[in-house]
Structures are given as C-alpha cells and as structure tokens.
Amino acid sequence: MPTGPTDAYKGFSETGLRRVHAVLSRHVETGRIPGLVALFSQGDETHVETLGTMRHDGGDPMRRDTIFRMASTSKPVSVAAAMVLLDECRLRLDDSVQEWLPELADRRVLKRIDGPLDDTVPARRPITVRDVLTSTFGLGMDMTVLGTPIMGAVFEQGITPNLPEPMPEPDEWMRRLGTLPLMHQPGENWQYQIASDLLGVLVARVTGQSFESFLRERVFDPLGMKDTGFHVPADRLDRLPPLYAPDPETGEFHVWDEAEGGRHSTPPAFQGGGGGLNSTADDYHAYFRMLLNGGMHGSERILSRAAVELMTTNRLGPQQQAARHALATDNVHISFGQGQHGGWGFGMAVRTYRGDYAPIGQFGWDGGSGTSTYADPDNGLTGILLTQVGASVPDPVRLMHDFWTTLYQAVND
C-alpha cells in the first residue's frame, strides 16, 4: 500500500478540481444542503472544501474543524479497537464470545424469521468473535422484515439507536439482548447494526476499560484524532451544527438533534460503536490514511498490515454476499441507491464489483446523518464528505454520489 506520491499517482487535474467545487456548490446553492465539509487526498496532495453554513437559515459558516455526528461511519473506525485486541492475541477470531458475553450463551434461533418468538430451535454452535466482526452473529436491523415479532421485540427492548429513549448502559443492554432469540444461525446471514454495537461491549469487557477509553488510548490519541469521541464537550459545542431530518414530503427542515442539550452534548450511557461517534474531516482523514498505509501513522504502527488487510477485504461467502446485495438492490427506495457495494469486511463495506465510478477494493461506509468516508488502495485516494442533513430525504445521498463521481473524474490518468 502506498505511503506517498509515486509515479503511479499523478494527483488531481485542475479541471477536475473545479468540477468538484462546482458540483458541491450546486448542492449547497439549492438550499437543501445548508453546508458541508469535503476533504480528499492522494499521496501528499490534500484538498478541502468548506461550503455553506452551520444552520439552514444562515449563521456561522462551515469550517474545516466543524464537528459532525458520524452516524454509521462510526463502524469502520470503532472496529479498530477489536483489531488491536486480535493483534495482541487478547481475542481470537474463532473463540466463542460467551466467555465475555455470557448473556449470549445457549442461544435459541427462530424457525422462521416472521414466526412467533417462542418457535425456536437451538443454535447449532456458539457465537464467535468472527461472527460479531462480520455482522453475522444472528441479529440485526433488517428493513425487509419490519412488522415481524422479532423486529417488534428489537424496538421494544430499545437495543437500537435513534429511538425516542436512548440505549441503556451496556450491562442492561446485554441483558435485554439476551432475552431475544436469534433471527438466523450464528455465521449464517449478514445483518446490519447490532453487531457493531455489540463489538463495543465485547471490547470493554475484554479490556476492563470503557470502549471509548480504549479507543482513545490505542487509536484516537496516537492518530491525533483530538475531536473524536462519543460526545462533544461543552467548550466545543459551538463547532457542532444541528442535525436536520427534513420532512420527506415537503422538504421542510426539522431539527432532529440540537447541539446544546442534544443527544451528543453529554456522555451517553451506551458508547455505540455502530453510530455514536462525533468527529471532523481531518480526524477521519488520519484514520483512513492509516488504513491505506497498511496500519502505519508516520513512524508509529497502529495496526498490523495483516489486520488492515483482514478488515478491508470482503469476508462474506457467496450466499451471504448475495443476500446483502439483494438487500441493497431490492430496497433502493429506502437507501436512495446507497449500499450497492457487494462485500463487507469488518465494520465496513468493500467493493467487490464495479457498480459505479469507484473501483473494486474501495472500502468505507456512509452514515444516515449525511456522512461518507472511503479509501481506495488502487488510486491511493481518501475522501471524507460531511454534512448535517439526515437521509430522511434523498438530498444528502445524491450529494454523496456526486462527490464520489466528480472525485474520480478529477483523478489524473
């Protein structure tokens, strides 16, 4: 993996850079995206665009150090904590997790995903670390089975984020999780979200530290990610814009989360690896550049090259990948076209087919709060796009598509 500019990487064309700026500006000028920060790099060449304002009705301009709710782009970063533990042999991929998560011992599995909660069979085997890291441990957010008893129970137990009540502290969260049957046998199906939150509890129990303190000690501080964490301290709240969830019918801006007194203004009871981080473009750039550099940050090793390669290559078998692909393509109206990447590594998507301008091998993820973060080993490219508009409307997702389309057009041949 490259560590700097080479003959193979010729940077960005002036014409391409002008187009990136013009296309991003066009989104802001519509009024549907109040502001954005975009940061992209190749080798030692880095470009930053800061456009628009923090609030939809004006006010302070966006700045390079504006802090954003990273939502699901938390997943590719929080998984690094588990990789540190794998590197140190404090975790093994095929160890059962019940040593640390006894609430998940002796699982029962639904006979049918839409069946009653007590119509179950025993799990064929225990849940392993690998199952958690690949999001195949048996439970997840499945938008194709909304209205089934199991999805109703997931919501009733309050074990997913963004419900009116915040998630409970980790031991209570685990207790509630342990009352539910699995949707699928361990290792069988890829499912979204819950595994990423479970990962944080696993790390905390293995290390005897809070998930955030371990991430800070082993990932954030060594990388200089000084503005990344599960809440925004009071003296930085002026750098956090409100998060908007526009009305899907009218487009009218509604504040989903205000900065002062909002969900991210105080330390949460549950440090959610699936979607709880706040961060900046530069902090995330440092993280993804470290992955591109095979686990190195300057002269300091954060992760082994082998760990990075494991995280950032597809870990799903053909049947699992087919199910994930169907989820993306058959529910395109939910995701506005995002999610059609093919594979999944640990905590992030991995492109396994050429479905748009991005090449096979690009890795990263998007967030429902209007965030998009990827790196591309073939082109030595990293891109971070951050805004404050949630995906209740297609506008932030269309912005993501256009950002990546223009970014790849801008790469010099």
SS3 label, residue 288: helix
pLDDT of 334 reads 63
pLDDT of 6 reads 47
CB 194 within 8 A of CB 202: no
pLDDT, tens digit (0-9, with 9 covering 90-100), for 235-270: 999 999 999 999 999 999 999 999 999 999 999 999
Residue 348 burial (CB count, 10 A): 24
CB 178 within 8 A of CB 104: yes
CB 259 within 8 A of CB 242: yes
pLDDT of 2 reads 44
pLDDT band at residue 95 under the 50/70/90 scheme = very high
pLDDT band at residue 336 under the 50/70/90 scheme = confident
Q: 316 or 143: which carries more pLDDT confidence? A: 316
SS3 label, residue 82: helix
Q: At 100, phi and psi to the nearest 5? A: -100, -25
pLDDT, tens digit (0-9, with 9 covering 90-100), for 9-43: 789 999 999 999 999 999 999 999 999 999 999 99
pLDDT, tens digit (0-9, with 9 covering 90-100), for 160-189: 998 888 999 999 999 999 999 999 999 999
Residue that the structure tokens 């999610």 belong to: 339
pLDDT of 8 reads 66
Task: Return the percentage of the chain with pLDDT > 90, whole number.
Answer: 88
pLDDT of 19 reads 98
Q: Tell me how far apart the alpha carbons of residues 59 and 231 are, in angstroms, rounded to a whole number.
A: 23
Q: Is the predicted pLDDT of residue 1 greater than 90, yes or no? A: no
Give the list of residues 6+ apart from residue 308 with CB closer than 8 angstroms, or none: 1, 83, 291, 294, 295
pLDDT of 217 reads 98
User: Widest CA span of the chain, in angstroms?
Assistant: 62
Q: What is the pTM of this model?
A: 0.96
Q: At 168, phi and psi to the nearest 5? A: -75, 175
pLDDT, tens digit (0-9, with 9 covering 90-100), for 64-76: 999 999 999 999 9
The number of angstroms, rounded, from the C-alpha of 41 to the middle of its chain's C-alpha atoms is 20
CB 269 within 8 A of CB 174: no
Q: Say which range, 122-126, 295-299, 356-360, has the weakest mean pLDDT.
A: 356-360
Average pLDDT of the residues of the chain: 94
